[in-house]
Amino acid sequence: MTHTSDHIRSAPAASTLLASDAVRLGTVGLRSRPMRAFLSALGIAIGIAAMVAVIGISTSSRAQLTRQLDALGTNLLTVTAGSDMTGAAATLPPDAAAKVALLPGVTDATSTAALTDIKVYRSSLIPAEETGGIATVSTDLTLLDVVAGEVAHGTWLNEALAQYPTTVLGASAAQRLGIVTPGTQIWMGNQLVTVAGILKPVPLAPELDSAALISRTVAQRLYGHDDHPTTVYERSADDQVARIRDLLAPTISPQASGGIKVSRPSEALSAKAAADHAFTTLLAGVGSIALLVGGIGVANTMIISVLERRQEIGLRRAMGATRAHIRIQFLSEALLLAGIGGALGCIIGTLITAVVATVSGWLFVMPLYVVAAGLAVTVVIGAVAGLYPAVRAARTPPTAALNSQ
């Protein structure tokens, strides 16, 4: 008896496409026209690099600010004279810093006074109107400790130097005068004074960067200054800052506290960081536009690739490839194209961030989520850009593809 199973043909096994095969097929179009693929990937890379670099630079800048504030402290308050009730310029009493130092919770207090009529010049031959914006400021010897300032070259004013016509220049003042080493003499008012030191930039007291600092003794003896301070700097315990801030004005001038201005320099630095963050968001938006243009470029490349490879599609269909296989092939090609661009963009963006951070002296920070987000965005762009071309390729009939010229 002949078994009926001998006459029954087995159904052909369903055609399958392995992941490795999909990747290999996806590289066919890229390898056949490498320049077109490179330019399309470059469009994605530029957009991703812009976004990664902008976010990375902003993050590094904020990390540097945080480290800076941790080192400098956020417990510094400054007091300046404003205007009284009549609109006239108010003045601080000579003992303003001493009054502030007596407040419970205050750890340090010092003051400076601007000598507005005393101009600073490199030599007596410089025209009077070319002051360079440098202010002559008398100061207590404890100033640097309170404002967390540092000397870059030379030395700070001490008890001995305070008796002689010497000055310490702020960083910007030294640059404007063209002085890089101490020992040089400059013209201050109608007197020659010797530069004893040059300060580093003072983030919490940027007004000192453009100042020529002299001792109170020299200010009184050489220029007849009346010893009224124009700025008081105060340090207190961190948990006492808010309370001390409310007490400073009435302590210094009980009868005219409304003419006293109290500020916290660290808040200005934080506000600058917030402004930088807003600007970063704007730049990231510009980068996203570049990324969108890159995605359109990928879609355009894939559509052209489908039109040019109709015969290849028809041949594969005739040899048993299903529509799903064709869709996967072209979708894989789009994903690879976008993925290459995304990886390249992340590398370029990270390198740009590292260079900017190094040149600026910042702490280099590149959050992993930024790189991961950049790669994820490229996958989405590749999928969206390749979806329509892949569907269009899969709908091409084998006969139409084989007959195309």
How buried is 363 (Cβ within 10 angstroms: 0-12 exposed, 13-18 middle, 19+ buried)?
middle
Per-residue pLDDT of the chain (405 residues; tens, 9 = 90+): 444 444 444 444 445 666 666 677 667 767 777 888 888 888 888 888 888 888 888 888 877 777 776 666 678 888 888 665 555 566 788 888 888 888 898 888 999 998 988 899 988 778 777 777 899 999 999 999 898 899 999 999 999 999 999 999 999 999 999 999 999 999 998 889 999 999 999 988 889 999 999 999 999 998 888 778 889 998 888 788 888 888 888 888 777 656 678 877 766 656 666 666 666 666 667 667 777 777 787 777 778 877 777 777 777 777 777 888 888 888 888 888 888 888 999 999 999 999 998 998 888 888 888 888 888 888 888 888 888 888 887 887 776 555 654
Backbone angles phi, psi at 328, to 5 degrees: -65, -40
Range 242-246 contact pairs with CB under 8 angstroms and sequence separation of 24 or more: 243/105, 244/77, 244/103, 244/105, 244/106, 245/77
Strands 135-139 and 106-114: antiparallel
Give tens-digit pLDDT for 248-295: 888 887 776 566 788 777 666 566 666 666 666 666 676 677 777 777
Whether residue 269 contacts residue 146, with contact meaning beta carbons closer than 8 Å, is answered with no
Give tens-digit pLDDT for 32-75: 778 888 888 888 888 888 888 888 888 888 777 777 766 666 78
Q: Any idea what DSSP says for residue 141?
A: T
Where do the domains of the chain lie? 18-69+271-403, 76-265
Q: Which residues sit opposite 188 in a β-bridge?
A: 120, 191
Residues in the chain: 405
Q: What is the model's pTM?
A: 0.60
The candidate with the shortest Cα–Cα distance to 168, out of 139, 199, 142, is 199
Cβ neighbors of 34 (< 8 A, separation 6 or more) are: none
pLDDT for residue 5: 46
DSSP string over 210-265: GEEEEEHHHHHHHH------SEEEEEE-GGGHHHHHHHHHHHH-TT-GGGEEEE-H
Which residue has tokens 């750890």?
107
